[in-house]
Structure formats: C-alpha cells, structure tokens
Amino acid sequence: MMYIPPAYEITEWNEITSFVSKARAGEFVTVKRDGTPESTTLPFTWYPNRPEQAADVSGCGVATTHMARSNPQWREIENGAPALIIVSGPGAYISPTNYAATAFTNKDVGTWAYQTVHLRGSVQVLHEPAEILQIVSDLQRDHEADREAPWDLSLAPREFIDELVRHVVGFTVQIDSVEAKFKLDQKKDISDRKVTVEDLLKSGRPGDLAIAAEMKRLFQI
C-alpha cells in the first residue's frame, strides 16, 4: 500500500479519474517469478467503476494496455498475478523560505510537491489479435480525441494493422484498489500556500508551473 498521511489523501472520485485521464500513461509494474520487479512506461485506458457500483467488475474497473512482444517483461507475467499502474503528474521543490515561521524558527526544510495515483489489481495477458486490436484502437481514439482533425486507425492499411498486432501483447488489469496522494502543502495555512504559489510561478520549470496551477485550482488561491 502507498503511504498516505490523511492530509494528502484524495478520495473524491471525479478528481481521481480526471487526473488519471489527463496523465494517459503510467508505469506498468509486475513481478518476475523470482520476485524481481519489472516496469515499463505504457499508455493505458482505464474504464473506472465506482467501488459501490462494482457489481460485475472486480473492484474499481478495468485498465487495458499493450507492449511490444519483444519486451521480455510480459514473459514473466502469470495470469492472475498482481500488477500496479503508477500514474504520476509533474513535481516541484518547495523551499522552506516560503513559510512565514521559517524566518523565526528555522524548523522547516525543503519538500517535494507531487501528485500520484496507484491502480492495483490482477493482470491477464492477451494474445488474441481481436482483443489486442481493440486495445490499440481505444488508445488511438482517446489520444486523438482532442485534436482538430483526429486520425482514425481504420485509415491504415489492413495488412499493416495485422502486422502491428502480431508484434504486440495486450493486457487487462482488473483494478481492485485505487490510492491517490496529492502532496501540495495541505499542512500549511493559506498564507503560506499563496507565497508558495507565487514563488513557483516565478520559475520557468514546467513542473513548478504545473504544481502552482494545481494548488491554485484545489485551494482556490
């Protein structure tokens, strides 16, 4: 389980699903037969299911993804084995100089602000071409959706698609649990948070700007 102090735990379902949807990729972590962990960064589609509505799907929905057949990770995966998808957003360093008390006590240190969601479940390895093609098609659809002129997989020559699928292995992960942690200075008061946002906005680092935007949104700064 991920360590999440109560102040940083996110339980609002729409907040979690929106974060995962925007990330669109994650670390697909499995364990080899000798206990060694393996990981590949993969795009995936999560079909979330509110836990209280999960009548016909285990836990919190299903995630689907795929990897190159030449990737050795899949060969060590047994059907039903545990899998973890780690979805992370940008991160940023927060200086203790942003906190008013630091000037008087020096009892603060720098920290790292970040957002992450862990999707845990059991994995099934898929080899059927039709199942793999569906996974690839869904990913293509989702990633093209906000483009002005979305490209459709059906435009590609059929023989090209068949060859592509032949070199791919698919996966479904039945999601049993979802853990979300947003570490964004929740333990500080609003005045310290405002100073932190102002400090981050002075930076040209993409991660700093992204964290500042999330703090402004979540805390209505």
In this model, does residue 3 exceed pLDDT 70? yes
pLDDT in tens, 90-119: 999 999 999 999 988 988 899 999 999 999
In a domain, 220, yes or no: no
Residue for token digits 């906190």? 99
Q: Is 120 helix (H, G, I), strand (E, B) or coil?
A: strand
User: At 82, which CATH number?
Assistant: 2.30.110.10
Q: Output the pLDDT for position 58.
A: 45
In a domain, 25, yes or no: yes
In a domain, 208, yes or no: no
191's CB contacts (< 8 A; 6+ apart) are 100
Q: Is 186 helix (H, G, I), strand (E, B) or coil?
A: coil
pLDDT in tens, 190-206: 999 999 999 999 998 99
Count structural domains, the chain.
Answer: 1
Confidence of residue 154 (pLDDT cuts 50, 70, 90): confident
In a domain, 172, yes or no: yes
Q: What number is the average pLDDT over the span 20-29? A: 96
Give me the domain span that covers residue 10. Answer: 6-187
In a domain, 111, yes or no: yes
